[in-house]
Amino acid sequence: MYFITVGRFKEGKAKRWQDWWTNEENVKAYKEVFPEGVKFLGAYLTILGSADHNYEMWFEIDKWETMDRWRSAAQDPGSKYSQYIQRLVNELGIVADWTRGKFLRPVGEVKLFEPSK
């Protein structure tokens, strides 16, 4: 399953975001803080379209239980993940005050339920 977060930059901060994400050492360190079962796939910029966001972050999640571990790590101020993300946000200071996310699954893996008539 895929988890995608989207967000907006603070004004004038797009280049700083791009520079950070094109540094291989930064990306390597970022990948290492996630709980087992979370794979960072990449950071993407919106270049054309009608999206209401500037960037997307893509992750592959192996199972729903992994989201529980990720959420726990995010809420624990002492976790490696939480400390790293807080430092990243403070150092870069580039993300506006909102992000949104969504989950995607391949069509063949989704069980659809139709209301009975």
How much of the chain, in percent, has pLDDT values that exceed 90? 39
Q: Does any domain span residue 114?
A: no
pTM of the model: 0.81
Q: Does any domain span residue 98?
A: yes
Domain hosting 66: range is 2-106
Q: Does any domain span residue 21?
A: yes
pLDDT bin (cut points 50, 70, 90) of residue 35 is very high
pLDDT averaged over the chain? 86
- Residue pair 6/51 in contact (Cβ under 8 Å)? The answer is yes
Say which CATH number the domain at 98 has.
3.30.70.100
Q: Does any domain span residue 116?
A: no
Q: Does any domain span residue 75?
A: yes
Split into its structural domains, the chain has a count of 1
- Residue pair 56/43 in contact (Cβ under 8 Å)? The answer is yes
**Among 18-22, 66-70, 112-116, which stretch is predicted with the lowest mean pLDDT?**
112-116
Query: What is the token pair recorded at 34?
Result: 């996630």
For the segment 37-77, what is each residue's pLDDT rounded down to a tens digit?
999 999 998 888 887 888 889 999 999 899 999 989 989 99
pLDDT at 44: 92
Nearest to 29 by CA among 76, 88, 71, 73: 88
Q: Does any domain span residue 111?
A: no
pLDDT at 115: 85
pLDDT at 89: 78
